[in-house]
Amino acid sequence: MSLLDVQNVTKTFGGLTAVNDVTFQVPERSIISVIGPNGAGKTTFFNLITGIYTPDTGNIKLGGRELIGLRPDQVVEAGISRTFQNIRLFPSMTAEENIMLGRGVRLKSGYWDAILRSSKFKHDEQEAVDTARLMLDFVGLSKWRNELSTSLPYGDQRKLEIARALATTPKLILLDEPAAGMNPRETEDLKALIRAIRDELGVTVVLIEHDMRLVMTLSEYITVLNYGSKLSEGLPHEVRNDPAVMEAYLGRGTAAGEYGKEAQA
Amino acid sequence: MSAFRLHNTGDQVDLQTVMTILLQVLVGGLSLGVLYAIVALGYTMVYGVLQLINFAHSEVFITGGIVGYFVFHALQDSSMNGYLKLVLACLAAMIVSGALNVVIERLAYRPLRGAQRLVPLITAIGVSLILQDTLKFVVGLTGMFDLSVTLPKGFTSPLTKFAGIDITSLNLQVKDVILLVVATLMLIGLNLLVNHTRLGRAIRAVAHDRQTAGLMGIDSNRIISLTFLIGGALGGLGGVMYAMKYQALNAYSGMAPGMKAFSAAVLGGIGSIPGAMLGGIVLGWVETLLGVVSLFSALPGLHWLSYIKAEYKDLGGFLALILILFIKPTGLLGKSSTEKV
């Protein structure tokens, strides 16, 4: 059974159909990529899954549980967390605090416990600190623990976002262009990290990415969106050789042929 | 200000007297400042999470003072310990003002969440006016317009000794010290809450970016309600402190101190919690200093100070505000931030 099950989802903004009748399935413990030219509706698609937008029609289920109608924070609780195309860390907080914030959703003490400083509250704070350390270690950012999040190097800020998302103990993590702005070495590190997320933590990964080398070597399955509709899907080599995909990326004619050669090389 | 008097013996001015006055300003200004600060926090916290200036906060604040009056009045003849009476007054005021603030947000501001910024602002002014008249009605039930607060015995006794040092000349009463201690404890408590708890992190996250906070599992509506609760409760406590300090208030008494507390919040950098605290204290000092500065006209070369009468102290406070904003437009501790859309 698939972990995430998106059935015939459509979302329009005024006259624009941003996501058009998309069906999308994510098997448990898989690494799936969503690709497509700019403006294809990829981020809108993530926003529909995470509850920022409500689809006009269609169904979204996580492990059989209906997600439509849930607020974003309830979707996180259900087990989906994400990172952002443009980094959205909390700048006034340290790396550790950012992760502790993400942990909040799994803690049981209420706000009154915080005000009254009950033992439950203290236990939870300690748990949040422990989780933060564990996650910083996992993504390799331990040395930045007490630094303000925005003082981290760019590539590390992306990793910190991943750590924060992981701290919510998700079943599924959505990564929106995780390699954007990274140099080839950082991208290699990222690839290893994403594999570790799946292999060591057992978290299913869906990523939006433009770095084709990363997508092709990392993904087990690829879905291609274009103008809001699903254009193609399949195994990496299938998608790479799909003429419709080449056309969407590069237009008709010889250019597509050139791309095909390059991609093969 | 007959309490202050400078011995002017020709050109010889008693240095010790000058020091005493400055010390009085320091302590008196601080107690006024922390009062402004706890009220300013209500403005700044709400601004932080909603970018809304909650004009109704001055009424939420004075509601606390009126609740305090009723508690002190009801317990007037009781043999209960004075400090216990104060605790009860503070608790009642914090609960009523906190709840009132939550209700205001739920009914007046939340339905307008998506509207452009002017709409909730005008609503806030409307809520302020509605509350003023409601409070006038409530106060009117006592048959009086001005309420005069009867404090527990001992609160108005002069303080003569502190740590073995004679402090009679500081002109302090027990209630001034209570105000200073209570307000300072509240400020420390709030700092701990905001910087070292999950709720505090959530408030900071919502203040920075509500949507991202939501995507990190934070129910922002809940956090906004709690922010109004905390801000309102601090305002209510400030109201009791105000009632205790001045021992007289009516339905409209919230406006002037509310305005100053708001100024303090802007002075410190609106949206910044330490800024509100610092802004309150700076404003308290400036005002208190200007209230007594004419006394220094007896000093050589400073006779022109006699023109700065105590009545001008409010003017001075606002001039300081303008001056500081002129030099640092974001306020003392405010960060320049790009406008969020």
DSSP collapsed to 3 states, chain B: CCCCCCCEECCEECHHHHHHHHHHHHHHHHHHHHHHHHHHHHHHHHHHHHCCCCCCHHHHHHHHHHHHHHHHHHCCCCCCCHHHHHHHHHHHHHHHHHHHHHHHHHHHHHHHCCCCCHHHHHHHHHHHHHHHHHHHHHHHCCCCCCEECCCCCCCCCECCEECCEECHHHCCEHHHHHHHHHHHHHHHHHHHHHHHCHHHHHHHHHHHCHHHHHHCCCCHHHHHHHHHHHHHHHHHHHHHHHHHHHCEECCCCCHHHHHHHHHHHHHHCCCCHHHHHHHHHHHHHHHHHHHHHHHHHHCCCCHHHHHCCHHHHHHHHHHHHHHHHHHCCCCCCCCCCCCCC
Q: What is the DSSP string of A126-185?
A: HHHHHHHHHHHHHHT-GGGTTSBGGGS-HHHHHHHHHHHHHTT--SEEEEESTTTT--HH
Q: How far, in Å, CA of A84 to CA of B78, rounded?
A: 61
Query: pLDDT at position A97, please?
Result: 94
Q: Which two tokens stand for residue B324?
A: 């500081």
Question: B199 to chain A: nearest residue by CA?
Answer: A111
Between B275 and B162, the higher pLDDT residue: B275
Q: How far, in Å, CA of A122 to CA of A159, rounded?
A: 28
* Average per-residue pLDDT for chain A: 89
Residue written as token pair 């043999």: B79
In the predicted model, what is the mean pLDDT of residues B305-318? 80
Query: pLDDT at position B341, please?
Result: 35
Q: How far, in Å, CA of A163 to CA of A135, rounded?
A: 5
Chains A, B: CB contacts under 8 A, how many? 81
Mutation choice for A interface testing from B49, B216, B223, B340 by most A CBs within 10 A: B216
Query: pLDDT at position B339, please?
Result: 41
Range among A127-131, B160-164, B315-319 rated most confident: A127-131
- Give the relative orientation of helices A154-166 and A184-199 as an angle to the nearest 10 degrees: 10
Confidence band of B6 (pLDDT split at 50, 70, 90)? low
Whether residue B6 contacts residue B14, with contact meaning beta carbons closer than 8 Å, is answered with yes
Percent of chain A whose pLDDT exceeds 70: 93
Q: Report CA-CA distances (Å) from B9 to A52, B21, B230, B299.
A: 76, 17, 53, 10
Between B207 and B337, the higher pLDDT residue: B207
Q: Is the ipTM of this complex over 0.95?
A: no
Q: Domain residues of chain B, as ranges?
A: 8-159+168-327
Say which CATH topology domain B8-159+168-327 has.
ABC transporter involved in vitamin B12 uptake, BtuC (1.10.3470)
Mean pLDDT is lowest, of A16-30, B99-113, B187-201, B218-232, for B187-201
Q: For chain A, count helices (H), then strands (E).
A: 11, 10
B29 has pLDDT over 70: yes
In the predicted model, what is the mean pLDDT of residues A163-177? 95
> What phi, psi does B41 have (nearest 5°)?
-60, -35
Q: What share of chain A is helix, strand, coil (3-state, %, to 5)?
A: 45, 25, 30
In the predicted model, what is the mean pLDDT of residues B31-35? 93
According to DSSP, the residues that pair with A81 across neighbouring strands are A173
Shortest CA gap B334–chain A (Å): 12
Tens digit of each residue's pLDDT (9 = 90 or more) over B233-266 = 999 999 999 999 999 999 999 999 999 999 999 9
Q: Are residues A52 and B197, on separate chains, in Cβ contact within 8 Å?
A: no
A262 has pLDDT over 70: no
Mutation choice for B interface testing from A54, A80, A88 by most B CBs within 10 A: A88
In the predicted model, what is the mean pLDDT of residues A223-230? 93
Shortest CA gap A99–chain B (Å): 10
Q: Which two tokens stand for residue B307?
A: 């023109």
Whether residue A98 contacts residue A164, with contact meaning beta carbons closer than 8 Å, is answered with yes
B216 Cβ under 8 Å from any chain A Cβ: yes
Entry field: residues in chain B: 341
Whether residue A20 contacts residue A27, with contact meaning beta carbons closer than 8 Å, is answered with no
Mutation choice for A interface testing from B102, B198, B208 by most A CBs within 10 A: B198
Query: pLDDT at position B313, please?
Result: 80
B340 has pLDDT over 50: no
Whether residue A176 contacts residue A35, with contact meaning beta carbons closer than 8 Å, is answered with no
In the predicted model, what is the mean pLDDT of residues A247-253? 73
Q: Which two tokens stand for residue A51?
A: 């509850």
Cβ contacts (< 8 Å) between A91 and chain B: which residues?
208
Confidence band of B11 (pLDDT split at 50, 70, 90)? very low
B73 has pLDDT over 70: yes
Shortest CA gap B226–chain A (Å): 9
According to DSSP, the residues that pair with A225 across neighbouring strands are A230
B219 Cβ under 8 Å from any chain A Cβ: yes
Q: Considering only CB atoms, which residues of chain A are within 8 Å of chain B?
A: 50, 52, 71-74, 76-77, 81-82, 84, 88, 90-93, 97, 100-102, 104-105, 107, 109, 111, 114-115, 121, 124-125, 128, 164-165, 168
* Average per-residue pLDDT for chain B: 88
Domains of chain A: 1-79+170-265 (3.40.50.300), 92-169 (no CATH)
In the predicted model, what is the mean pLDDT of residues B75-89? 93
pTM metric for this prediction: 0.85
CB environment B109-135: b (16+ within 10 A), e (fewer): beebeeeeeeebbebbeebbeebbeeb
Between B100 and A39, the higher pLDDT residue: B100
Q: Report CA-CA distances (Å) from B296 to B7, B10, B20, B22.
A: 10, 14, 12, 10
Whether residue B340 contacts residue B117, with contact meaning beta carbons closer than 8 Å, is answered with no
In the predicted model, what is the mean pLDDT of residues B206-230? 93
CB environment B167-178: b (16+ within 10 A), e (fewer): beebbbbbbbeb
Query: How many alpha carbons fall within 13 Å on the CB side of residue B35?
Result: 33
Percent of chain B whose pLDDT exceeds 90: 60
Residue written as token pair 């990172």: A83
